[in-house]
Amino acid sequence: MIAWDQPATWAVVLFAIGLGLMVPNGSMRRRAIGAVVGLASLACFSAAFPVSGPWLDRAVFRILALIAVGSAAASVSMRNAVYAAVWFAICLLGVAGLFLYQGAQFLGVVTVVVYAGAIVVTFLFVIMLAQPTGQMVYDRITWGGEAKILGVGAGALLVAIVTGLLTTDRPPDDRDRVASAIAAWDARTAPSRSDGIAGAEWYLVDARADDGGLRVVLRNDLPPVLLDRLRAALPHELESGDAPLAAAARKQLDIEFLSIEDNVLHPNHVALLGRNLYGRHLISVEIAGTVLLAALVGAIAVAMRARRAERPYEGEAA
């Protein structure tokens, strides 16, 4: 059942062990060991999910991922709440970088500005207000063995599910078949082509076959000349792979560009996001604004009422 020869399996196991060691319950050494095990698990993850492409691309992604996950783990494992908040800010920076890497520039910026800039600072304020004495006894311990095992087990189960889902070989759908056909075509003809664009499958958005024929959607920053070539070559290329798909393609082959509104990688990225936000999600935006206002008022009300009724701490673990 469990494939121990796969790096993904080891990655999950090591992830669980590392996180379990890192959470604050033990000595510094144990946590250091935990950190090492966690790094090993990340290495296993990267081995389990190989990526292709130029090395710089890969390196940037790996580094950003490492920053995000590593600082998240550090944030969880810090005994001191201030450190945890700071590590969380770093994690947010990593996530913002990942957003940028994905082409979601606006989100990346917003994450840095709003999250790291405002929310985390609020956290730090509250920590400073509420916890003047640094690490407390309840920061040093967790719930004892069972609780920690349960919690870490839940997290590991989640990761295992995600990993299992991602590594399980699934039957290729139309898009995968078309993508592999394009990749094959690309690899075969790239040296002889003069357009200089490699990796044409990057531009594939969707491909769907039905009774009417095969419909392929491409991102619209592809050179139009390549489109014609692809149209000519694709049915032939599909012949070797998938017969029904080839039949559909011979029947009718529509290769079209994605509309500008749907292109998340369009240069006018922010404008398009704003159009979507204020068109499709206008009511949601209004509601979110109202919620923000209500939260603001509520937060002030709660904070002001909390002045009275002070009770001394009766913690028995102290």
Partner 1 sequence: MDRIGPLLVVIPAAPLISAVAIALLAPRLLRGIREFPAFLTIAAFGVSLIASLLLLREVTYHHDHVGPGSPSFERVVRLWTWADARDAYWQRPALPSDDPRAESPIEGGSRDFTIDIALRADALTATMLVMVTFISTLVAVFGMGYMQGDRGFWRFFAYVSLFVFSMTMLVSASNFLLLFVFWEAVGLCSYLLIGFWYGKPSAASAGKKAFLVNRVGDFGFALGLFLIWTTYGTLDFHSSARVRSDDGGSERRILDSLTTVPAGATGVAWGVLSRDAESYRHGAIGLAICLLLLVGACGKSAQFPLHVWLPDAMEGPTPVSALIHAATMVTAGIYMIARCTPLFTASPEAQVVVACVGGFTALLAALIALTQFDLKRVLAYSTVSQLGYMFLALGAGTFAGVTSGMFHLFTHAFFKALLFLGSGSVMHAMGNVIDMRRFGGLRKVMPITHWTFLIGCLALAGLPPFAGFWSKDAILGAVHDRAHALSGAHAAHDATNLAAHGRERADDGGTRVVEPGEGVWTLWTPEQAAGVYQWLYCAALLTAGLTALYTFRAFFMTFYGARQIPPEAGGHAHESPAVMTAPLVVLAVCAVSVGWFLDHSYQSDPSYLPGGRASSGNVLGDFLGYAPQLAGGAIAATRTPGRFHFDVAAISALIALGGIAFAAFLYLEDRREADMASAFLRFHWYRRMLDADSIARIRRWKSVDAVNRWADRLRLGWLARIVGRGVLVVVWVVTVPLILTQFASPYRLSQDKFYFDEIYDWTMVRPLRWIADLCAALDRWVIDGTVNMVGRIPVVTGNLMRSLHIGLLPFYAVSMALGVLVLVLARTLWGS
Partner 2 sequence: MNERELLDGYLLLGGLLFAIGLVGFLVRRNLIVMFLCAEMMLQGVAVSLVAWSRFRHNWDGQSMVLFIIAIAACEAAVGLALILALFQRSRTLDVAYWQDLREPGQSRRVDRGVPEERREERIWPRLTPAGVMPREDQDKNKETHRARV
| Binders in 139-158 for partner 1, by CB under 8 A | 143, 147, 150-151, 154, 157-158
Q: CB of 3: closest distance to partner 1 in angstroms?
A: 15
Tell me if residue 254 falls in helix, strand or coil: strand
Residue of 13, 36, 155, 233 that binds partner 2 (CB under 8 A)? 155
Q: Find the shortest distance in angstroms from Cβ 209 to partner 2.
A: 18
CA-closest candidate to residue 267, choices 146, 128, 103, 148 = 103
- DSSP state for residue 113 in the 8-state scheme: I
Choose the one of partner 2, partner 1, none that binds residue 164, judging by a C-beta under 5 to 8 angstroms depending on kind.
partner 1
Nearer of residues 47 and 243 to partner 2, judged by Cβ? 47
Q: Which is nearer to partner 1, 3 or 157 (CB)?
A: 157
Cα Rg, the chain, nearest whole Å? 26
Binding-residue pattern over the window 278 to 307 for partner 2, x denoting contact by CB under 8 A:
--xx--x---xx-xx-xxx-xxx-xx-xxx
Residue by residue, DSSP assigns 62-76 as HHHHHHHHHHHHHHH
Q: Does 138 bind partner 1 (CB under 8 A)?
A: no
Answer yes or no whether residue 178 interacts with partner 2 by CB under 8 A.
Answer: no
Integer CA distances (angstroms), 158 to 4, 69, 80, in order = 18, 15, 27
At a CB cut-off of 8 Å and minimum separation 6, what does 153 contact? 16
Hunting for tokens 């509309």 — which residue is that? Answer: 259
The entry of partner 1, partner 2, none that residue 115 binds, CB within 5 to 8 Å by partner kind? partner 2
Instruction: Decide: 218 and 190 in contact? Cβ < 8 Å.
Output: no
Residue 209 binding result from partner 2, partner 1, none, given CB thresholds of 5 to 8 Å by partner type: none
Q: Residue 296 and residue 290: Cα distance in Å, rounded?
A: 10
Q: Which residue type, as a one-letter code, is found at position 218? A: L
Per-residue DSSP letter, 210: E
Site for partner 2 contains 119 (CB under 8 A): yes
**Is 301 one of the binding residues for partner 1 (CB under 8 A)?**
no
Question: Which tokens go with 107?
Answer: 């989100």
Residue 3 CB, shortest distance to partner 2, in Å, is 17
* Residues from 224 through 243 that contact partner 2 (CB under 8 A): none
CA distances from 186 to 90, 209, 224 (A): 40, 21, 15
Beta carbon of residue 143, minimum distance to partner 1 (angstroms, whole number): 6
Which amino acid is residue 237, in one-letter code? E
Residues 13-42 that bind partner 1 (CB under 8 A): none
> Which residue's CB is nearer to partner 1, number 47 or number 161?
161
List interacting residues with partner 1 (CB under 8 A): 143, 147, 150-151, 154, 157-158, 161, 164-165
